[in-house]
């Protein structure tokens, strides 16, 4: 689906927008469609209702700003050893077989025959450029990995974002990291 399509835009909008559009269309069908065509006209609202429900489900799973701030604070205070153990446990909880590697990646994830290399050693860096992403992509290609993931709390330069997008490297930052780790509030 194109990022600019109506339903892609609705999925990024608040869930109630799709539901409200479905309601408006239902009202229009009630007032303007002949009685024998009301139910077929009403069926036009189904994709909007489905999109609203899907958007609500996705939005319920996104952690709030307070939880994200708490996780960022907690993770920023961790040593490399603590952070690596927490992130390794998070991936294992999500069903990945995790092994440690050295070099441009820190973890190798295996799930359903798909290999993902994860670089998370520089998670505390104030800013992230293209070079560590390039190294990660080179290692992924050399090892025949399917995917690559880069974990960053600090800012990622625009060049690095473009590089990650063009080389299919998933950037995990504040919100997504909070969802992945699922730390309890106040956890140390």
pLDDT tier, 98 (very low <50, low <70, confident <90, very high otherwise): very high
Same domain? For 103 and 165 the reply is yes
Same domain? For 73 and 134 the reply is yes
- The confidence score (pLDDT) of residue 153 equals 87
Same domain? For 20 and 100 the reply is no
**Average pLDDT score over residue span 64-92:** 90
Same domain? For 37 and 103 the reply is no
What total of structural domains would you count in the chain?
2
Please list, residue by residue across 15-52, b when 16 or more beta carbons sit within 10 angstroms of its beta carbon and e when fewer do: bebbbebbeebbeebeeeeeeeeeeebeeebeebbebb
pLDDT tens profile 104-119: 999 999 999 999 999 9
Q: Report pTM.
A: 0.71
- The confidence score (pLDDT) of residue 115 equals 95
The CA-CA-CA angle for residues 105, 111, 116, to 5°, reads: 20
pLDDT-wise least confident of 76-90, 102-116, 144-158, 171-185? 171-185
Distance CA 155, CA 132 (A): 14
Distance CA 167, CA 128 (A): 16
Distance CA 29, CA 21 (A): 12
171: CATH: 3.40.1350.10
Q: Can you read off the two tokens belonging to residue 85?
A: 């153990």
pLDDT tens profile 28-75: 999 999 989 999 999 999 999 999 999 998 888 777 788 888 888 999
The verdict on residue 188 lying in a domain is no
Of the residues 61, 84, 101, the one at which a domain ends: 61
Distance CA 124, CA 25 (A): 49
């Amino acid at each position: 689906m194109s990022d600019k399509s109506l339903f892609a835009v609705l999925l990024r909008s608040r869930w109630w927008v799709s539901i409200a559009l479905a309601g408006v269309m239902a009202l229009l069908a009630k007032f303007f469609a002949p009685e024998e065509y009301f139910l077929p006209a009403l069926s036009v609202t189904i994709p909007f209702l489905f999109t609203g429900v899907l958007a609500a489900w996705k939005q319920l799973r996104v952690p709030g700003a307070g939880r994200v701030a708490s996780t960022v604070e907690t993770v920023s205070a961790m040593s490399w050893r603590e952070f690596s153990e927490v992130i390794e446990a998070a991936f294992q909880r999500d069903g990945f077989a995790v092994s440690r590697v050295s070099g441009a990646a820190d973890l190798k994830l295996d799930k359903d025959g798909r290999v993902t290399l994860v670089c998370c050693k520089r998670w505390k860096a104030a800013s992230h450029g293209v070079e560590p992403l390039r190294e990660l992509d080179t290692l992924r290609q050399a090892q025949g990995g399917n995917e690559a993931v880069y974990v960053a709390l600090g800012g990622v330069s625009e060049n690095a974002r473009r590089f990650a997008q063009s080389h299919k490297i998933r950037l995990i930052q504040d919100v997504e990291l909070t969802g992945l780790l699922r730390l309890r509030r106040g956890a140390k």
